[in-house]
Amino acid sequence: METFIEILKAIFIGIIQGITEWLPVSSTGHMIIANEFIKLNVSDGCWELFEVIAQLGSILAVIIVFFDKLNPFSKNKSPELKKQTWSLWFKVIVAVLPAAIIGILFEDWLDKTFYHFIPVAIALVVYGILFIVIERINKNRKMKYESVYDIDYPTALKIGCFQVLSLIPGTSRSGSTILGASTIGVSRTASAEFSFFLAIPVMLGASALKVLKFILDGGALTGTEIIVLISGTITAFAVSLVVIKFLMSFVKRHSFESFGWYRIALGAILIIYALIKY
> Contact, 57 vs 236, CB < 8 A?
yes
> Contact, 274 vs 32, CB < 8 A?
no
For residue range 198-211, list pLDDT tens digits in order: 989 888 887 887 78
Residue 187 neighbours by CB under 8 Å, 6+ apart:
143, 145, 146, 147
Backbone φ and ψ for 198, nearest 5 degrees, come out as -60, -30
pLDDT of residue 181: 92
Strands (DSSP E) contained in 114-222 are none
Identify the DSSP state of 255: -
- Name the residue type at position 209: L
- Name the residue type at position 268: A
Q: How many CB atoms lie within 10 A of CB 160?
A: 24
What's the per-residue H, E or C state across 71-129?
CCCCCCCCHHHHHHHHHHHHHHHHHHHHHHHHHHHHHHHHHHHHCCHHHHHHHHHHHHH
Residue 114 belongs to domain spanning: 2-277
Closest CA to 219 of 52, 66, 70: 52
Domains in the chain, number? 1
- Paired residues of 145 in beta bridges: 186
pLDDT band at 150 (very low <50, low <70, confident <90, very high): very high
pLDDT of residue 243: 93
For residue range 213-252, list pLDDT tens digits in order: 888 877 788 888 899 999 999 999 999 999 999 988 888 7
pLDDT of residue 273: 85
